[in-house]
């Protein structure tokens, strides 16, 4: 048999176990995982004996700021940063300019992402007070899921009224589409921010946390769960930060609601003793510890970066005026590889949280997030022994900033393969602009 690519002798980290085997790729798909027959040939045979091979890591929450905010990032720079970070597919948020809330704007965004992206991409569609009639069309156009800003963030996008939201969730349920929520409560944020601003002109991590407190998130999560109970809609909670919210989502799951949850590296690796502005804010160590426990015991479904770049100039503004959001698409995988080396999570557990689970949550499994024959041949090749230091100046995002700058890690991304093609190979960009395709849920 002749294949396009054979990856030989890799340590393959699947969700259940790690094993030594070869992988054969044909026409961008996995043809076989196991032992290649003697006599089998390929255009290229890649020796991976020093590496671990993970199913392609998915970052299901990025803001590539394209269209309209491309001074911060675009699909080209964002996808290059992703490829260097071992990410084979991203899902982009709809708070761009214009927002992605109509079929017309959604289709235009597909074209521009298709032109620029080095890796595969999915696109969320925004729910607004006006676009219930667009929902079916957005699904047909290929939307990954719907997104609601329940509480304002970048772009100051208003949440639909409760009346509209309940109708939209009924529609989402009938379309079998999941809706993801940014959970904060505007009046709580306004009130606590006012108190915090009276206290200090230059807030540190404690005051940023105080200004948008845990109860702001938890109240919104509770509210969203109630809406789900009434509508039977599938719900996803983005960037969950607190043990209160985990308690509420667990209670909802016990009642039979279809709820998935996500948290991000900045809530797991940092605490409010450092000053990094992001919404919702970074909490204290008690929440951080609970988030780790919830990750390991399955109460949190997945990890995503919430990569949300701003320009260097914006990041030097006084903290109350500075826009919220941190870069993370390129640092997610190495941060977790280091935790694997430290014994805090298994490599298989990481694969579940960052490959299989996002693919299942957003209904693109087993095309993505799987090592089964017939799945897209997406792989993240990693060197678990390599030591390195995160250097923000060397990252590939337009915004060369990182809250993890200077962290010393063991475990590095070696190469990134999307549908059988090396996009990043041993530190060199080998893919091309426009290679990425839109990935849509199976229905």
Binding-site size for Zn ion (CB under 5 A) equals 1
Q: How far is the CB of 153 from Zn ion (least distance, A)?
A: 7
Which residue in the shown chain puts its C-beta closest to Zn ion? Answer: 306
Q: Which is nearer to Zn ion, 66 or 306 (CB)?
A: 306
Q: How far is the CB of 113 from Zn ion (least distance, A)?
A: 17
Q: Which is nearer to Zn ion, 120 or 306 (CB)?
A: 306
Q: How far is the CB of 214 from Zn ion (least distance, A)?
A: 18
- The CA distance from 72 to 19, in Å, is 41
- The CA distance from 23 to 36, in Å, is 8
Tokens 């450092």: give the residue: 274
Question: Do residues 126 and 430 lie in contact, with contact meaning Cβ atoms separated by under 8 Å?
Answer: no
Q: Which is nearer to Zn ion, 74 or 306 (CB)?
A: 306
Q: How far is the CB of 266 from Zn ion (least distance, A)?
A: 11
- The CA distance from 149 to 127, in Å, is 8
Which 73-112 positions form the footprint of Zn ion (CB under 5 A)? none
Helices 214-231 and 162-174, interaxial angle, to 10°? 50
Using the rule CB under 5 A, is 120 a contact of Zn ion?
no
* The CA-based dihedral angle spanning residues 102, 107, 109, 113, taken in that order and rounded to the nearest 10 degrees: 160
Which 174-193 positions form the footprint of Zn ion (CB under 5 A)? none
Q: Which is nearer to Zn ion, 73 or 306 (CB)?
A: 306
Q: How far is the CB of 307 from Zn ion (least distance, A)?
A: 8
Q: How far is the CB of 423 from Zn ion (least distance, A)?
A: 24
- The CA distance from 290 to 4, in Å, is 45
Which 278-337 positions form the footprint of Zn ion (CB under 5 A)? 306
Q: How far is CA 342 from CA 85, 102, 182, 303, in A?
A: 20, 46, 31, 18
Q: How far is the CB of 93 from Zn ion (least distance, A)?
A: 5
Strands (E) in 27-169, as ranges, are: 29-34, 41-47, 52-55, 57-62, 87-92, 120-123, 125-126, 146-150
Q: Which is nearer to Zn ion, 160 or 366 (CB)?
A: 160
- The CA distance from 291 to 285, in Å, is 10
Q: Which is nearer to Zn ion, 10 or 145 (CB)?
A: 145
Q: How far is the CB of 85 from Zn ion (least distance, A)?
A: 17
Q: How far is the CB of 312 from Zn ion (least distance, A)?
A: 20
* The CA-based dihedral angle spanning residues 271, 277, 279, 284, taken in that order and rounded to the nearest 10 degrees: 20
Q: How far is the CB of 236 from Zn ion (least distance, A)?
A: 12
Helices 243-254 and 214-231, interaxial angle, to 10°? 10
Q: How far is CA 410 from the centre of its chain?
A: 22
Nearest residue to 65 (alpha-carbon basis) of 56, 54, 76: 76
Q: Which is nearer to Zn ion, 155 or 205 (CB)?
A: 155
Beta pairing class for 178-183 and 234-237? parallel
- Cis peptide bond prior to 316, omega within 30° of 0: no
Q: How far is CA 328 from CA 8, 114, 287, 308, 400, in A?
A: 31, 22, 20, 8, 11
Q: How far is the CB of 26 from Zn ion (least distance, A)?
A: 37
Helices 103-116 and 75-84, interaxial angle, to 10°? 60
Q: Which is nearer to Zn ion, 3 or 269 (CB)?
A: 269
Which 349-378 positions form the footprint of Zn ion (CB under 5 A)? none
No. of helices (H) and no. of strands (E), the chain: 13, 18
Q: Which is nearer to Zn ion, 329 or 382 (CB)?
A: 329
Q: Which is nearer to Zn ion, 70 or 370 (CB)?
A: 70
Q: Which is nearer to Zn ion, 290 or 306 (CB)?
A: 306
Q: Which residues bind Zn ion (CB under 5 A)?
A: 306
């Amino acid at each position: 048999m002749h294949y396009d690519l054979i990856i030989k002798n890799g340590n393959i980290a699947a969700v259940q176990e790690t094993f030594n085997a070869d992988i054969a790729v044909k026409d961008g798909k996995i043809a076989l995982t196991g032992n290649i027959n003697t006599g089998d040939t390929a255009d290229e045979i890649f020796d991976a004996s020093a590496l671990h091979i993970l199913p392609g890591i998915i970052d299901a929450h990025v803001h590539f700021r394209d269209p309209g905010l491309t001074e911060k990032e675009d699909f080209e720079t964002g996808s290059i940063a992703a490829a260097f970070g071992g990410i084979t597919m991203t899902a982009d948020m709809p708070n761009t300019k214009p927002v992605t809330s109509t079929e017309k704007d959604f289709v235009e965004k597909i074209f521009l992402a298709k032109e620029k992206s080095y890796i595969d991409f999915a696109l969320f569609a925004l729910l607004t007070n006006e676009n219930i009639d667009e929902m079916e069309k957005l699904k047909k156009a290929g939307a990954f899921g719907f997104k609601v800003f329940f509480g304002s963030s970048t772009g100051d996008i208003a949440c639909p009224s409760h009346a509209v939201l309940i109708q939209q969730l009924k529609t989402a349920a009938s379309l079998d589409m999941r809706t993801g929520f940014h959970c904060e409560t505007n009046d709580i944020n306004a009130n606590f921010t006012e108190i915090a601003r009276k206290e200090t002109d230059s807030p540190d991590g404690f005051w940023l946390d105080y200004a948008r407190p845990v109860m702001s998130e938890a109240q919104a999560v509770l509210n969203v769960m109630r809406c789900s109970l009434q509508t039977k809609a599938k719900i996803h909670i983005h960037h969950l930060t607190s043990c209160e919210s985990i308690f509420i989502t667990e209670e909802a799951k016990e009642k039979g609601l279809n709820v998935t949850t996500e948290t991000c590296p900045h809530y797991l690796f940092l605490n409010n003793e450092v000053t990094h502005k992001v919404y919702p804010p970074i909490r204290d160590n008690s929440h951080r510890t609970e988030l780790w426990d919830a990750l390991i015991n399955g109460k949190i479904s997945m990890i995503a970066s919430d990569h949300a770049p701003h320009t260097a100039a914006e990041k030097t503004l006084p903290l109350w005026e500075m826009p919220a959001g941190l870069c993370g698409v390129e640092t997610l995988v190495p941060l977790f590889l280091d935790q694997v080396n430290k014994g805090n999570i298994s490599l298989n557990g990481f694969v579940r949280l960052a490959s299989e689970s996002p693919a299942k949550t957003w209904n693109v499994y087993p095309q993505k997030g799987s090592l089964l024959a017939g799945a897209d041949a997406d792989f993240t090749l990693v060197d678990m022994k390599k030591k390195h230091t995160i250097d923000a100046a060397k990252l590939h995002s337009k915004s060369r900033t990182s809250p993890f700058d200077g962290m010393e890690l063991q475990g590095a991304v070696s190469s990134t393969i999307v549908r059988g093609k090396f996009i990043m190979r041993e530190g060199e960009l080998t893919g091309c602009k426009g290679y990425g395709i839109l990935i849509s849920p199976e229905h």
